[in-house]
Structure 1
């Protein structure tokens, strides 16, 4: 299944692939060159399709757990000063997504959206520490009955050109539901209260809706 945010791009890519495939068959007479071009075209189409895939994953909603909002790799676990909303120290967990990861963003917890803001910005590589405050990004805060306020930030990377955010202030959201999409490379930061028990390690791969980022006993 594909995410709705990819519908237009998938349609354009499929149409372009078909046109170019027919054109190459008509204008390229050399067999090996023709096959090489066709394979490259097919590869490009497959890359677009896999980028917008949206696997359905079962999740038992649990307010005592913060689940991974995205597929990727844990690149940061540290105490930082969060200057936009909390204006105090928080525990930051960051997940980097490569172009081959699923790029759907899912709500990591249930609760009421207290804050949602879009920031235009740069397109530094997503693993650059400055990307959290200088890149194009969205900041969302959800008030959960167990953890309190949890902030997550979608951050554009060097290839990302559009962040889609569904969260609006006042909404009541459900853990695991689609929260948005980041097109072509990105990162998500999660800010937890100090003292939260983190359930992942640096370098660990995460699976959205399945990997447990933090727990409350």
Structure 2
């Protein structure tokens, strides 16, 4: 492999949704260089950050039936039992919920946690409070999906954050989707909530780093009693 090909192999591709933003940052940088060189360099750094934000790296996804993978890159901020939002249609009984917080430095392309059929998509406008707060699940702008699988129904909610102002969906109701396939993105900092079937034991811990399409959140096909964790 040539040096040029080796370098290109280390650079993740950019999602097409990012091209207009990267172009805007680059154009602004050129204008800033014309005004004052130090401002141009600041713009260049922000252009590079924008390109990294919209990166869309290849992921290696486990595909066994029952596996639930992380739909987003980020930190697992909460694992709790709560009643799902009404628009999911999953009832009012508390369900296991895993929340993943994405900072502005994480990859923001979202991937399906399971393979199945998208039964429902529901968009709801709302506020833009800090996505790490628990009440963001109810108050913030969000886009919800319900995916039916042979092992139960999974709810996935894209929640806009303090900086995010736009949720993008790539899918439609009624279509089939494979585990790890891209279904949307959120621009500039946000959170995803994953509602698991009743009785499911999450196989991750709060504070753990999740990788979209790769980190296993739960296994619906096994009666796993859960796991313990330590930090160090």
Q: Please, what TM-score do these two structures have when normalized by structure 2? A: 0.85
Sort the Cα spacing of 1:125 and 1:170 in 2 relative to 1 into closer, same or farther, 3 A: same
CA distance in 2, matches of 1:186, 1:83: 18
Contact kept? 2:30, 2:40, Cα under 8 Å: no
Asked if the contact 1:140–1:167 (Cα under 8 Å) also holds between the matched residues in 2, the reply is no
Match of 1:10 in 2: 22
The C-alpha deviation readout for 1:16-60, integer Å capped at 9, x for no partner, is: 222322x04xxx5xxxxx4x3343122111111111111111223
Range moving further from structure 2, 151-160 or 39-48: 39-48
Q: Does 1:20 align with 2:23?
A: no
RMSD: 1.3
Q: Are the counterparts in 2 of residues 125 and 158 from structure 1 also a CA contact under 8 Å?
A: yes
- Residues 48-75 of structure 1: CA distance to partner in whole angstroms, max 9, x if unpaired? 1111111111223222210000100011
Residue matched to 1:31? none
Counterpart contact for 2:80–2:97, Cα < 8 Å: yes
Higher strand share: 1
Which residue of the partner structure matches residue 175 of structure 1? 179
- Please report the TM-score for the alignment, with normalisation by the length of structure 1: 0.91
* 1:126 alignment counterpart: 131
Matches within 5 A, 1:25-104: 28=36, 34=37, 36-84=38-86, 85-87=89-91, 88-104=93-109
Q: Larger deviation: 8-17 or 129-138?
A: 8-17
Deviation of 1:190 (Å): 0.2
C-alpha separation in 1, matches of 2:164 and 2:130 = 10
| SS state at 2:110 partner | strand
- For residues 189 and 108 of structure 1, the distance between their equivalents in structure 2, rounded to whole angstroms, comes to 11
Cα deviation for residue 83 of structure 1 reads 3.6
Q: Which residue is equivalent to 1:153?
A: 157
Contact 1:104 1:180 in 2 (8 A): yes
* Count of aligned pairs: 206
Secondary structure at the counterpart of residue 163 of structure 2: coil
Runs of 4+ in 1 over 4 A off after TM superposition: none
Distance in 1 of aligned mates of 2:171 and 2:196: 18
Checking the alignment, whether the CA contact within 8 Å between 2:168 and 2:184 is kept in structure 1 is yes
1:198 match: secondary structure: coil
Structure 2 distance, partners of 1:83, 1:186, is: 18
Q: 1:39 to 1:16 in 2, by over 3 A?
A: closer
| Deviation, structure 1 residue 5 | 1.2
1:76-133 Cα shifts (integer Å, max 9, x gaps): 1111111412122210000000000000110010000111011011001001111111
Task: Tell me what 2:230 maps to.
Answer: none
Is contact 2:28–2:43 with CA below 8 Å preserved after alignment?
no
